[in-house]
Amino acid sequence: MSSELHVDVSAGVAVLTLHRPAQQNAFTPVMATELGVALRRCDTEDAIRAVVITGTPPAFCAGADLSLRVGDVTATIDPAPWRVRKPVIAAVNGHAVGLGLALALQCDLRYVARDAVYGLNQVRRSALADGYAHWLLPRLVGMANAADILFTGRTFDGDEAKAMGLANSSLDAAEVLPTALSVAHDIAAGSAPLPVALSKRLLWEGLAMGPDSVAALESQLNTYVAETDDAGEGMTALRDRRQPRWTGRVSDEWPAWESPTEPERPRLD
C-alpha cells in the first residue's frame, strides 16, 4: 500500500484503489508508477485471476493533477491494463475526466456511475487526450462518437456512456464497485485461467487482424490449451456436474511469443 494507491488481494481478485480523495483522485506521476507496479504484480502472480480498478469516493479520477505540469502526468501506464494477462475491470464509481477516463478505457470492462461526469477535455486546455485514447475510443464507440468526444471535449453522464458502448452498465454510484467485484469473483472462481488470459490477448490483438488470421489463432490456441491439465478438469467437472477445480498457472503455461517485431503473436508451431 502506498499513499496514493491502495492494493487489496482476496479470493483471487486484486482491488487497486486510487487514493487521493481530497483531490478527487487526481492523477500524479507517483500514482502512475504505483499503478504500474501493481498491474505488473497482477500480471505475474498466478493467485490473482481478476483485477478491479476503482477510486476512493467521491470520484474515480478527476484527471491530471493540475497543480503539476500537465506534460509530466500521463495515463500511459507500464503495463497498460489491456496488456495485463488477467481481466481488468474499471469500477468507475464517480467522475472520470481526462486521464481518469483514459485509464478506464484501457480496461476490459467498465461499470460506471449513472450520475457522474465523463469526458476527455484535454482539447479545452490546448492539449491532446493520451493514454491510447485515439486508438481505444473509435473501437469502443465508433468514429463519429469518438470524434465528438475528442474534438469537443464535452462531458456526458453514465447513461450516455452506456448507450455509446463505452460502458458495460450504468448504475447507481453505490452499486458500481459491488457489481464489478461480483463479475471479478465470478471470473476468478469460474473461468480457467489460461483460456481467459489467451482470450483477452487475442481479443485485443484481433482488433488489428483479419478474420482468417483470428480464426487460425483460435484454432492454434485451442489445440494448445487442450493439452493442459485444466482442459481435462473442465470436462471431468462437466461430467460430474460439479464446479471445476482449476490448477493452471498462466506464468508457467503461457506460450512462446515471436520476435520483438511482433511481440504479441503466439508461436505455437
Note the pLDDT tens digit of each residue in 188-205: 999 999 999 999 999 999
Pairing of strands 13-18, 50-55: parallel
Task: State if pTM tops 0.75.
Answer: yes
Question: Which residue has better confidence, 218 or 258?
Answer: 218
H helices present in 153-228, as ranges:
158-164, 173-190, 193-205, 211-226
Mean pLDDT throughout 71-100?
A: 90
What pLDDT is attached to residue 72? Answer: 62
The pLDDT-based confidence of 263 (bands split at 50, 70, 90) is: very low
CB 112 within 8 A of CB 161: yes
> CB under 8 Å to 159, separation ≥6 — which residues?
114, 170
Asked whether residue 39 carries a pLDDT value surpassing 70, the answer given is: yes
Mean pLDDT throughout 80-99?
A: 97
The pLDDT-based confidence of 71 (bands split at 50, 70, 90) is: low
Decide: helix, strand or coil at residue 88. Answer: strand
User: Cell triple for residue 228?
Assistant: 493442459
- For the chain, which residues make up each domain, given as ranges? 5-188, 192-253
Phi-psi region of 239 (alpha: psi -120 to 50; beta: other; left: phi over 0): alpha
What pLDDT is attached to residue 257? Answer: 59
The pLDDT-based confidence of 262 (bands split at 50, 70, 90) is: very low
What pLDDT is attached to residue 76? Answer: 76
> Do the domains spanning 5-188 and 192-253 agree at the CATH topology level?
no
Provide the CATH number for the domain formed by 192-253 in this structure.
1.10.12.10
Please state which of the four CATH numbers 3.40.50.720, 3.30.2130.10, 1.20.59.10, 3.90.226.10 is assigned to the domain occupying 5-188: 3.90.226.10
Cα(70)–Cα(77) distance, integer angstroms? 15
CB atoms within 10 A of CB 267: 11
CB atoms within 10 A of CB 91: 30
Within its chain, how far is the Cα of 158 from the centroid?
A: 18
Which of 54, 85, 37 is closest to 181 using CA atoms? 54
What pLDDT is attached to residue 70? Answer: 53
What pLDDT is attached to residue 264? Answer: 47
Which of 137, 158, 166 is closest to 75 using CA atoms? 137
* Residue carrying C-alpha cell 450516455: 160
- Residue pLDDT, tens place only, 178-190: 999 999 999 999 9
- Per the document, the length of the chain is 269
Pairing of strands 88-92, 109-113: parallel
Is the bond leading into 58 cis (omega within 30 degrees of zero)? yes
Cα(195)–Cα(218) distance, integer angstroms? 11
What pLDDT is attached to residue 124? Answer: 94
Cα(263)–Cα(51) distance, integer angstroms? 23
- Residue pLDDT, tens place only, 14-30: 999 999 999 999 999 99
Asked whether residue 268 carries a pLDDT value surpassing 50, the answer given is: no
| CA end-to-end span of the chain | 42
Asked whether residue 108 carries a pLDDT value surpassing 50, the answer given is: yes
- Residue pLDDT, tens place only, 136-163: 999 999 999 999 999 999 999 999 999 9
CA 134 → CA 102, 116, 140, 252, 260, distances in Å?
10, 22, 11, 34, 24
User: What percent of the chain clears pLDDT 90, i.e. is strictly above it?
Assistant: 88
Question: Any idea what DSSP says for residue 127?
Answer: -
User: What percent of the chain clears pLDDT 70, i.e. is strictly above it?
Assistant: 91
* Residue carrying C-alpha cell 457489481: 179
What pLDDT is attached to residue 66? Answer: 80
